[in-house]
Structure 1
Amino acid sequence: MEKYKTEFKLKVVKSFLAGDGGAKLLARRWIVPEEKIRTWVNHYRLHGIDGLLPKRSTYSAQFKLQVLSHQDREQLSSRQVAAVYDVRNPNQVVVWRRNFDEGGVEAFSKGDQRRTNMKSERRSPAPPSTVITDSAQALREENEQLRAEVAYLKKLQALIRAKRSAAPTKRV
């Protein structure tokens, strides 16, 4: 994946915001994918210069579910919800959606467990009072899954209502 310097991103974004052209024209001028320009502009509008700075992050299962829930609730594209939550790669949201659709909440918690296991191997074990019991963790995961299911069902109901209201009425 090609990396772009922050100064270059800022120059392209400012050019877009100044009205020097749309994303398609600027993409040809600067030899950058059009999607990158749109992503940079969205991140800049929401987070300023910090939205263009390099970022390496790992995201918790709870954060991923929050992003997907917000996307469903507000009916946002992956690029839009990524910009809101400052996820630099909008395709990551697509991957989260696919993983969630295929494996539910467990698809997210597997990665978290793997990271937790790697961290705990490097550090000394936590005192017993801070260790979360398996049953409490299972309840939290079930709660997250139920919240995601409720958000999904709400979106489905909204789509059904929209379809019914958009149906043509029969005139006699």
Structure 2
Amino acid sequence: MVKYSDEFKVMIVQEYLGGRLGYGTLAKKYGIKSSEQIRRWVLVYKKYGAEGLLRKKSHEVYSVQFKLDVLSFMKRTGASQPETALHFGLTNPSMIGDWKKKFLEGGAEALDNPKGRPVMSDKAKNVKKDQKPTQQDEMTREQKLERENELLRLEVEYLKKLRAFQMDPDGYLEKHKQRYRSNSKKNSD
């Protein structure tokens, strides 16, 4: 998603409000992918002024009740996501779509799950620092080389089998079917 500077947004809106060009023409003139974006900027500008376009997007956490109110308003009035976002002063209309999807999939409880990783507590950070090195960290150079050698051997075996299969898939499968049948007979005896 392209980020536009605040000054650029204000300039576009003012040019539109000057009445010389429409949404589509302005979008083509300035290389904006969708004229809908300009329409949203104009709506925000008309409702909140230039400050509405200059709002810094803080990572505000919304309550479950607020999210339910937004979804209820949208359903009750039939308003679109951008119109609903404008009504509630939200800067990101697509966020409402995310809330709606979560609500439909998991109910109101799903709206309570915060996005992203939870904050790590100081206690957890200290525990991580105090942990002793794992067995992998304590391996000697010789053990690491042996392990690498074994992995390389396995890789070579895999590649040989893959090459054999690619050269003659039917013959390879037939050969292994016979081996599987003989192994299964031994296990059942």
Q: TM-score, normalising length from structure 2?
A: 0.57
1:30 equivalent in structure 2: 30
> Quick one: distance in 2 between partners of 1:95 and 1:5?
25
Q: Are residues 1:39 and 2:40 paired?
A: yes
Asked whether the 8 Å contact 1:82–1:89 carries over to 2, the reply is yes
Residue 80 of structure 1 deviates from its aligned partner by 0.5
> Quick one: distance in 1 between partners of 2:105 and 2:20?
43
> Per-residue CA shift, 1:55-108, capped at 9, x if unaligned?
223222222112111112221000111112222221111111111111111111
Matched positions, count: 120
2:10 equivalent in structure 1: 10
Paired AA for residue 80 in structure 1: E
The secondary structure found in structure 1 opposite 2:90 is coil
Find the partner of 1:70 among 73, 81, 84.
73
1:153 equivalent in structure 2: none
Detail structure 1 runs of 4+ shifted over 3 Å in the superposition. Answer: none
Residue 118 of structure 1 deviates from its aligned partner by 3.4
> Quick one: distance in 1 between partners of 2:71 and 2:87?
12
Say which structure, 1 or 2, has more relative contact order (CA 8 Å, 6+ apart).
1
Q: TM-score, normalising length from structure 1?
A: 0.62
> Quick one: distance in 1 between partners of 2:93 and 2:44?
11
Query: How big is the alpha-carbon RMSD for the aligned residues of Structure 1 and Structure 2?
Result: 2.3
Q: Are residues 1:102 and 2:105 paired?
A: yes
Which consecutive residues of structure 2, in runs of 5 or more, have no partner in the other structure? 123-189
Asked whether the 8 Å contact 1:46–1:84 carries over to 2, the reply is no
The secondary structure found in structure 1 opposite 2:49 is helix
Residue 12 of structure 1 deviates from its aligned partner by 0.6
Residue 9 of structure 1 deviates from its aligned partner by 0.3
Identity, in percent, stands at 38
Which consecutive residues of structure 1, in runs of 5 or more, have no partner in the other structure? 123-172
> Quick one: distance in 1 between partners of 2:70 and 2:16?
27
Paired AA for residue 7 in structure 1: E
> Per-residue CA shift, 1:20-64, capped at 9, x if unaligned?
222111111111121211111111111111211132232222221
